[in-house]
Structure 1
Amino acid sequence: MKTIYHAADRRGHVNFGWLDSHHSFSFGQYYEPEKMNFGVLRVLNDDIIEGGTGFGTHPHDNMEIVSIPIYGALQHQDSTGTNAVINQNDVQIMSAGSGIKHSEYNHFKDKETNFLQIWVIPKKRNIQPRYDQKTFDPANRENKLQTVVAPDDESAAWINQDAWFSLGNFTSGHQADYTIKKEGNGVYAFVIEGNVTINGQSLYKRDALGIWDTDKLNIEAATNAEILLIDVPMQLI
Structure 2
Amino acid sequence: MAAATTNREASVDIRRADDRSATRIGWLDSKHSFSFGHHYDPANTHHGLLLVNNDDIVAPGTGFETHPHRDMEIVTWVLSGALVHQDSIGTSGVIYPGLAQRMSAGTGILHSEKNDAWRLTGADEHTEPVHFVQMWVVPDAAGVEPGYEQLEIDGELLAGGLVTVASGLERDADQAAIRISNKYAALHAARLEPGRSVTLPDAPFLHLFVPKGTVSLEGAGALGQGDAVRFTATGGHTVTATEPSEILVWEMHASVRA
Q: TM-score, normalised by structure 2?
A: 0.85
Aligned residues: 234
1:12 aligned onto 2:16: no
| Residues 155-191 of structure 1 deviation map (CA, whole Å, 9 limit, x = unaligned) | 41110112111111222223322333xx5x3110001
Answering whether residue 79 of structure 2 is matched by residue 70 of structure 1, we say yes
Deviation at 1:234, TM superposition (A): 4.0
What displacement does 1:102 show? 0.8
Letter in 2 for 1:177: T
Partners of 1:76 and 1:103 within 8 A in 2: yes
User: Do residues 208 (structure 1) and 228 (structure 2) align?
Assistant: yes
Cα RMSD for the two superposed structures: 1.7
User: What is aligned with 1:165?
Assistant: 187
CA distance in 2, matches of 1:219, 1:24: 20
Q: Tell me whether 212-221 or 23-32 shows the greater mean CA deviation.
A: 212-221
Q: Do the aligned partners of 1:192 and 1:227 also contact (CA within 8 Å) in 2?
A: yes
SS of 1:235 mapped into structure 2: strand
Deviations along 1:98-153, one digit per CA (max 9) or x if unpaired, are 11111111134532111111111111211011111111125534431111111233
Q: Distance in 2 between matches of 1:225 and 1:104?
A: 25
For 2:173, the aligned partner's letter is D
Identity %: 37
Q: Is the 8 A contact 1:66 1:119 kept in 2?
A: yes
Given the alignment, which residue of 29, 34, 42 partners 2:38?
A: 29
Query: Aligned residue for 1:85?
Result: 94
CA distance in 2, matches of 1:7, 1:139: 29
Once the two structures are TM-superposed, the CA of residue 5 in structure 1 deviates from its matched residue by 1.2
Bigger drift between 139-148 and 19-28 goes to 139-148
Q: Which runs of 5+ in 2 are unaligned?
A: 1-9, 118-124
Residue 176 (structure 1) aligned with residue 198 (structure 2)? yes
Kept in 1: contact 2:206–2:235 (CA 8 A): no
Query: What secondary structure, in the 3-state scheme, does the structure 2 residue paired with 1:9 have?
Result: helix
Matched to 1:197, the amino acid is: S
* SS in structure 1 of the partner of residue 234 of structure 2: coil
* Kept after mapping to 2: 8 A contact 1:82/1:131: yes
Gaps of 5+ in 1: none
Does the C-alpha gap of structure 1 residues 141 and 208 become closer, same or farther in structure 2, counting only changes over 3 Å?
A: farther
Q: Is the 8 A contact 2:193 2:244 kept in 1?
A: yes
**Equivalences for 1:64-213 in 2 at 5 Å?**
64-108=73-117, 109=125, 110-138=127-155, 140-151=157-168, 152-154=172-174, 155-161=176-182, 162-180=184-202, 185-202=204-221, 203-213=223-233
Larger RCO of the pair (alpha carbons < 8 Å, separation 6+)? 2
Letter of the aligned partner of 2:190 in structure 1?
A: G
